[in-house]
Amino acid sequence: MNLWSRLMCSCRRRSPWIFHMNSGSCNGCDIELVASLTPRYDAEQLGVRLEGSPRHADILCITGPVTRNSVHAIETVYGQVCSPKAVVAIGSCPATTNVFIDSRVLDGPLNRHIPVDVFVPGCPPRPDAILQGIAKAAEILAERGSRPLVNEENQQ
Amino acid sequence: MNLTIALARLLIFPGLLFAVPTAWFFLWVERKAVALMQQRIGPPFMQPFFDFIKLLGKTTPARSGVSGLLMKAWPLLAVSAAAGAVGLLPVLPLSGGFQGDLVLLLALMELPSICIIAAGFSSRSIFGEIGSAREAVLTVSYNVVFLLAVVSIAVSQHTFRLEALAQLPASPLRWLGVLAILVCLPAKLHINPFSLPNAEQEIYSGPMIEYAGPELAMWELSHGLEWVAAAGLVATLAVPHFAAGWIDSLLFVSLSFGIVLLLSVLAAATARLAIDTTARFYWRCALMFAGLAIASTLLMRLRA
């Protein structure tokens, strides 16, 4: 690995910009994600910035058990995030559909539709756990960025 | 000013080579000041640099046709205009300059705002268009005050040359003008309470919404360079040059830093105003202020 790609790898790890998406969540995980950005937990120390546009983001944070209505939106937004990108599933719902399992309005869990890198289980998870998940996703992102070809295959 | 000196000023000092790290430093000061006001630790010192390099390594969505080309061109134009504006600042005494370079500086400082307006409309996103419309309203509002204040300073000192303005001693009238410019700077830099075009809770990122990767990095850089140019202009007008070069440069840099700190603390302490309140503020309150400055300047010239 040459100097430029090592620098790029380090910068990707230290500057994860996140985009938050709700796929039918009960709002519990969303509140905890917002709490992790507040002064008490201060995600900005890790370089985390909450972005308004998926085009700006590196990490897609998805909450909720994936309702049928949200599937198309999830796929669109995942396509709009520019590569290299990573996905963090926040809460038990996107991982297993949680207590809503076998509901007819759901089309979950999340990894049936897009590849998920980090699961942060909990109902809801604590803000520190969410931060740990984002930090782990940033490391995955940095590694993935240095191997772009493998990344393309994974997405297929 | 011959071509070599002009190129050296544009590319080395106080142009790109000096201005880009300063821009990153000011962006960090902006975020760190907000963090400290909220009792957080805030981003690490190198954060704007990390963000910039990371954005350079990201892919951009493929865009075709004229609008795709235009979307690539706007951020580059904004960065070059802001870098040109920084290059004109008289940081060192006897650094040259020409008659009327203040007018060129004002034009170059205005260009990034125009690029932002055009970029929002080229992106064809509804949020981008709303952001651009807001930016246009904001530009029309604060620029009347900003230009009147600058003109009143220039008229009171009988020159439109930055070097000469920097050397003349400060008068009370000049302080009035500098104060009026300071009132306009939050709107010029799109920070709270006038962060309307990029209001993230209302219209996501406004004109920047469709930008990604290296293009977004250029927008971030142009924002940082605008900070350097705006703070530098105020520092030039507020502090008269002494004889020794290094004292002047030190004063210039520390005053710029002070202005960035002041504006960041203001941004952290205030909430965003609505667009009609902002326009009313500039047209009613600040315009009277600037009118007072230019009227007293003209009266003084008549008396002299």
Q: Where are the domains of chain A?
A: 3-155
**What domain range is B237 assigned to?**
3-303
Backbone angles phi, psi at B159, to 5 degrees: -155, 150
Q: Report how many domains make up chain B.
A: 1
Query: In the prediction, which pLDDT does A153 show?
Result: 44
Confidence of residue B239 (pLDDT cuts 50, 70, 90): confident
Q: For residue B235, what pLDDT is reported?
A: 84
pLDDT of residue B3: 80
Handedness of CA B264, B269, B271, B277 (dihedral sign): negative
* pLDDT attached to residue B242: 65
Q: How confident is the model at residue A139 (pLDDT cuts 50, 70, 90)?
A: very high
Sole residue written with tokens 């400290």? B36
- Asked if A152 reaches chain B (Cβ–Cβ under 8 Å), the answer is no
| pLDDT at residue B243 tops 80 | no
Distance from CA of A9 to the nearest CA of B (A): 8
CA distance A119 to A101: 17
A88 to chain B nearest CA, in Å?
A: 19
CB contact under 8 A, B58 and A83: yes
B53 close contact with A: CB closer than 8 A: yes
Distance CA(B297)–CA(B294), nearest Å, equals: 5
Mean pLDDT of A133-137: 94
User: Distance between CA atoms of B191 and B193, rounded to whole angstroms?
Assistant: 6
Cβ pair B60:A42 closer than 8 A: no
- Angle at which helices B101-123 and B65-87 cross, to 10°: 160
Chain A: residue whose CA lies nearest to B198: A52
The 3-state DSSP class for residue A59 equals strand
Other C-beta atoms closer than 10 Å to the C-beta of B65 total 7
Q: DSSP state, A27?
A: S
Query: Which spans in chain A are helix H?
Result: 3-14, 28-35, 68-80, 92-96, 127-146, 148-155
Chain A contact for B51 (CB, 8 A cutoff): yes
What's the pLDDT at B93? 64
Contacts of A56 in chain B (CB under 8 A): 205, 208, 211-212, 216
Cα-Cα-Cα-Cα dihedral sign, residues B292, B294, B297, B299:
negative
How large is the angle between the packed helices B101-123 and B126-156, nearest 10 degrees?
Answer: 170
Q: In the prediction, which pLDDT does B232 show?
A: 87
> How far apart are the C-alpha atoms of B52 and A112, rounded to whole Å?
34
Query: Residues B62-84: what's their mean pLDDT?
Result: 87
Is the pLDDT at B241 greater than 50? The verdict is yes
pLDDT at site B1:
59
Q: What share of chain B has pLDDT > 90, as a percent?
A: 21
The pLDDT value given to residue A156: 38
Q: Is the pLDDT of residue B281 over 50?
A: yes
Asked if pLDDT for residue B297 goes beyond 90, the answer is: no
Q: Tell how far CA B212 is from the center of its chain.
A: 23
d(CA A140, CA A84): 10
- With a pLDDT cut of 70, the percent of chain B lying above it is 95
Please tell me which of A131-135, B64-68, B209-213, B287-291 the model is most confident about, judged by mean pLDDT.
A131-135
In angstroms, the CA A1 to CA A5 distance is 6
Position A91 confidence tier, pLDDT thresholds 50, 70, 90:
very high
What pLDDT is stored for residue A132 in this prediction? 94
What integer pLDDT is reported at residue B217 of this predicted model? 93
Q: Looking at the complex, does the CB of residue B249 fall below 8 Å from at least one CB of chain A?
A: no
Q: Which residue has the higher pLDDT, A16 or B286?
A: A16
Q: For residues A67 and B201, which has the higher predicted lDDT (pLDDT)?
A: A67
Q: Which residue has the tokens 């995600």?
A: A43
Query: Is the pLDDT at A64 greater than 70, yes or no?
Result: yes
pLDDT at A129 over 60: yes
Q: Taking 80 as the threshold, does the pLDDT of residue B247 lie above it?
A: no
Written as six digits, the tokens of A57 are 């983001």
The stretch B110-130 carries a mean pLDDT of 90
Name the 3-class secondary structure at B257. Answer: helix
For chains A and B, what is the number of CB pairs under 8 angstroms?
84
Decide if pLDDT at A2 tops 70: yes
**A83 inside 8 A of chain B by CB:** yes
> What's the pLDDT at A154?
46
| Each residue's pLDDT tens digit, B25-45 | 999 998 999 899 888 898 999
User: Is B243 in a helix, a strand, or coil?
Assistant: coil
ipTM of the predicted structure?
Answer: 0.89
Q: In 3-state terms, chain A is what percent helix, strand and coil (to 5)? A: 50, 15, 35
Which tokens is B28 given?
């960090």
Q: How many helices (H) and strands (E) does chain B have?
A: 13, 0
- Whether the predicted pLDDT of A149 surpasses 60: no
Q: Is A99 on the interface with B (CB under 8 A)?
A: no
Q: How far is CA B199 from CA A94, B128, B135, B170, B228, in A?
A: 30, 11, 11, 37, 22
Q: At A21, which helix (H) or strand (E)?
A: strand A17-22
The CA-atom distances, in angstroms, between B273 and each of B98, B147, B276 are 40, 23, 8
Point out the least confidently predicted range of A127-136, B189-198, B263-272, B286-295.
Answer: B286-295
From the list A11, A45, A55, the residue facing B211 with the nearest CB is A55
For the stretch A24-54, pLDDT in tens is: 999 999 999 999 988 899 899 999 999 888 9
Measured between CB atoms, does B291 come within 8 Å of chain A?
no
Smallest Cβ–Cβ distance between B200 and the set A11, A12, A52 belongs to A52
- Band of residue B225 on the pLDDT scale cut at 50, 70, 90: very high
Residue of B41, B54, B209 best to disrupt the A interface, most CBs of A under 10 A:
B54
> Distance between CA atoms of B246 and B244, rounded to whole angstroms?
6
Could you tell me the fold of the domain covering A3-155?
A: Rossmann fold (3.40.50)
Nearest CA-CA partner of B189 in B257, B117, B139:
B139
Q: What is the DSSP letter of B170?
A: P
Q: Which residues of A touch B58 (CB under 8 A)?
A: 58, 82-84
Cα–Cα distance for residue pair B128/B119, rounded to 1 Å: 8
Given CB atoms, is B209 within the 8 Å cutoff of chain A? yes
Strands, DSSP E only, in B26-71? Answer: none
Span B6-26, pLDDT tens digits: 787 777 777 788 889 989 999
